């Protein structure tokens, strides 16, 4: 069963109260959500369990916490990055349910954008298991 995600407003307030906030000129969120369009339709060469002509009704989602923590630590070491926070859901998720939230804070836009893209990419490619179920 899906968990309720944390409040983005609360996360941002906590980030701005963090000792690292004085080094942050930008914060950027990623909010991944279960969609009905299957991976096979939108990403060449990828298949998440539903073929390109079908629709996703739900997704089984799991993650390796140690791999996620390692990815977070790598991101914290990137140039200009001062704040990183991640929440991942787990279990059987329905279309529209939140999969993940990621918040990155850093000095300048290029550093923050690059860090967000790298972290979400690493999480999606090496830390999680997503199995789409047909509608």
The confidence score (pLDDT) of residue 1 equals: 62
Q: How far apart are CA 89 and CA 82, in angstroms?
A: 24
Q: Give φ, ψ of 75 to 5 degrees.
A: -70, -40
pLDDT digits (tens, 9 = 90+) for 1-28: 678 999 999 999 999 999 999 999 999 9
Q: Give φ, ψ of 80 to 5 degrees.
A: 80, 0
The confidence score (pLDDT) of residue 94 equals: 97
The confidence score (pLDDT) of residue 45 equals: 63
Averaged pLDDT for residues 80-96: 98
The confidence score (pLDDT) of residue 16 equals: 98
Helix, strand, coil % (nearest 5) of the chain?
A: 35, 35, 30
The confidence score (pLDDT) of residue 91 equals: 97
Cα 108 to the center of its chain, rounded Å:
21
pLDDT digits (tens, 9 = 90+) for 22-81: 999 999 999 999 999 998 787 766 666 778 788 999 999 999 999 999 999 999 999 999
């Amino acid at each position: 069963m899906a968990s309720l995600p944390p409040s983005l407003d609360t996360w941002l307030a906590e980030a701005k109260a963090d000792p690292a906030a004085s080094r942050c000129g930008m914060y950027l969120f990623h909010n991944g959500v279960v969609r009905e369009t299957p991976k096979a339709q939108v990403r060449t060469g990828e298949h998440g369990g539903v073929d390109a002509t079908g629709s996703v009704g739900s997704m089984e989602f799991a993650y390796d916490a140690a791999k996620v923590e390692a990815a977070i630590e790598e991101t914290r070491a990137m140039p200009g990055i001062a704040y990183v926070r991640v929440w991942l859901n787990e279990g059987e998720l329905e279309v529209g349910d939140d999969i993940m939230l990621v918040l990155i804070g850093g000095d300048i836009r290029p550093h923050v954008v690059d860090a967000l893209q790298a972290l979400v990419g690493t999480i999606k490619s090496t830390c999680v298991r997503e199995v789409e179920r047909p509608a």
